[in-house]
Each structure stands twice: as C-alpha cells, then as structure tokens.
Amino acid sequence: MAKPLLEFTDRGIYCEQGRFYIDPWKPVDDAVITHAHADHAYFGHKNYLAHHLSREVMLYRLGDINLRTIEYGETVVKHGVSISMFPAGHVIGSAQIRIEYKGVIWVVSGDYKTDDDGISTPFEPVKCHHFISECTFGMPVYSWKPQTEIFTEVNNWWRTNVQNGVATVIVGYSLGKAQRILQNLDLSVGKVYTHGVIENTNEALRRNGVILNPTERITIESSKEEVRKGIIIAPPSSVGTPWMRKFGPYSFGYCSGWMAIRGAKRRRAADRGFIMSDHADWNGLVSAIDATDCECVYLTHGYTASFTRYLNEIGFNASEVHTLYGGEEEDAEAPTQPPPGGEELPGTQNNQNVSPLTSGGDLEGVGGAVI
C-alpha cells in the first residue's frame, strides 16, 4: 500500500514528501501553522508558514521567529507538494491547510466553526480525499443558538447591570472570543475596557490591519467608577483574582460552549453563562465533513471515540488519531463532571482506541494529555 501523504508522528502531522509539519508540538525545521492559538503555534521551529492575519499575533506570542505569511487561496510549493490555505472560521487568521501531491488532496482543518461570527473570515468547505478534523463538541447536546440571540442576552445583561450600578465583567479567550464579543457589543450602553492580555492581542490584530471597535486598557490609573459604567472583557485567567475583585460589586459572565452543559455555570462561579464557542457544534461538524466529499476522515481531539463511531455508522470511513491539540477551549473550559447522559469528557477519549493513519503506522509514543 502506498505511503500516505500525511502521517501522525510524535512531533505532529508530517508530510515526508514536502519535508514539513503541520501544527507540530515539538521543534522542527519547517512548520505550517493553522492558527495562532497556543496548542497549534509552538515556539522553537526554524521556519513558520501561516496566514497573513495571524502574523502579528504570532510575533507577539512567539517573539522573533522566521515567519512567512500568505493569503487565502495562495499556493506555496515545497518539494513538489502544493500548500494552500482556506478560511476555517475559528478565529481571525485561522486557516485550513490544503495539501496536494500527484492529484491526492488532504485537508488539515485545525480548529473551525461553520457559523459566521462577523469578525473571522467565514469557513469554506474544501473538497478533498482525506480530511483531518477536530470534534471538540462532537455530541448532539451541543447545538449553538444564532449569534444575534446570544448578543441580545449579553447586551441586555450589561444594560441591566449599568442601571443597577453593578460592574460588568465578561470572560472570553484573548484571541477569538474577545474580539467576537467586542464587535457585537451595543456601544450605546457604554465604553469597553480590557484586561492587558486582551488588549495586547487587540493591538497585535490592529497592527495587522484588523479594524476593531474602540477599547481602553485597564491600568492602575483607571478610574474604578468610570470602568464600572462600561463593560470589562477579561481572560479566563483573571477569574477569582484580586484584579477582578477590585471592580466589585460586579456581575461576571462566562462565554463558552461548555455552558450548554448543566452545572457548568455553577462550576465556573459565574453569574451568567453564555453559550458561545469558536468551535463547530454537532451539526456544524457533520455538515463540514460531509461537504468535503472526503473518502477518509481522521478525528484529532474532542469526543473522538463516540464521534468516530457515529460517522462510521452513517457511512464515512472515520478513525481516531492521537494529537496534543485542544487547549484553547477543551481543557480550560471543559466541565469537571460528566455531561448529562454519562458522555465522556473532551480529551479523555484520546487515550483509547487510537487508530494510526495506516495499518502499519506507529504513533511513536505521543503523549496522552490534551494541553
């Protein structure tokens, strides 16, 4: 049997013919990066290739790296292998990586969502023979509401807090949710204030030409009373810290796909839980995979065991593979107790029933943790 164009190794997804890796988690010479989240863009590679809109965030996060960037649809050829990028819809600058050699096409989707969030370039299905997909929310219980409904709830909550003299703190990841929240707030209610980590990312994106609504960084000189009249966007790391407590009394809202699970809001000690994710829900995953017309699909992180079984039952040729992806929403926001019905938690499935890409393949001791 011919060797596959892409293989899963102890360093990441490897293209031997092209001599490059996609989202490797150990240092390599040539890395192609789907997006700038920490579980996909690691420090230590000699050369990086990413989408143009990931440039400034990657330089901010990784420092002085040798980085080349391209636009969606642009093609780079490495040792006869064609590499191009297509929108993943996950966060600003996120890309699906299309690999072609001698007529065989693979697509590495990275993380993605199929709903248009109004700030990321919308997801585009890419036809291929082999599709590598996440399944962070690969259970039917996960079904996202329209974004307009979510932000009607957010803005009404904010408005009520202002009327009651209560500060408003909304929590989301610094790359992705923070900008999505920012662009959908009703700015007639008040100003938007940001934690330093959020504002650093906003500034990097603005350097990259991304137009964002105005924000004001919170510093030691910031007036507590003025900040309390607006809304504060903060990262998950700020929850329960003295930094957050100094704005009290405040109402704290948490944005996460895991808020669809009973009890998640309580475990986060949040006053409000908003069901908002930068990953595809159940229907989004199924529709995205179906739209590729792929012959084989490989599931890298999330509910891999159960979702693999489901895809095989409906006629796909699906298998699990073992990677270290899944950090931005999987571990940090995952429920600490099993969801209703006894489903497994994200990340736990990747330790079981691992299937290499080929019958003779070897995952070479890839670690069991999802970072």
Q: What is the DSSP string of 83-95?
A: EEEEE--SSTT-E
Residue 358 in this model has a pLDDT that exceeds 50 = no
Domain definitions of the chain by residue range: 7-142+279-351, 147-275
The CB density around residue 187, as the number of other CB atoms within 10 Å, is 13
Mean pLDDT of 49-69: 97
The CATH number given to 7-142+279-351 is 3.60.15.10
Residue 268 in this model has a pLDDT that exceeds 80 = no
Q: Collapsing DSSP states into helix, strand and coil, what is residue 345? A: coil
Q: Write down the pLDDT at residue 131.
A: 98
| DSSP β-bridge partners for residue 193 | 216, 232
Residue 181 in this model has a pLDDT that exceeds 90 = yes
Q: Write down the pLDDT at residue 110.
A: 96
Residue 338 in this model has a pLDDT that exceeds 80 = no
Mean pLDDT of 206-220: 97
% of the chain surpassing 90 pLDDT:
81
Mean pLDDT of 141-152: 96
Q: What share of the chain is helix, strand, coil (3-state, %, to 5)?
A: 25, 25, 50
Q: Write down the pLDDT at residue 349.
A: 31
Q: How far apart are CA 196 and CA 219, in angstroms?
A: 8
| Class of 147-275 in CATH | alpha beta
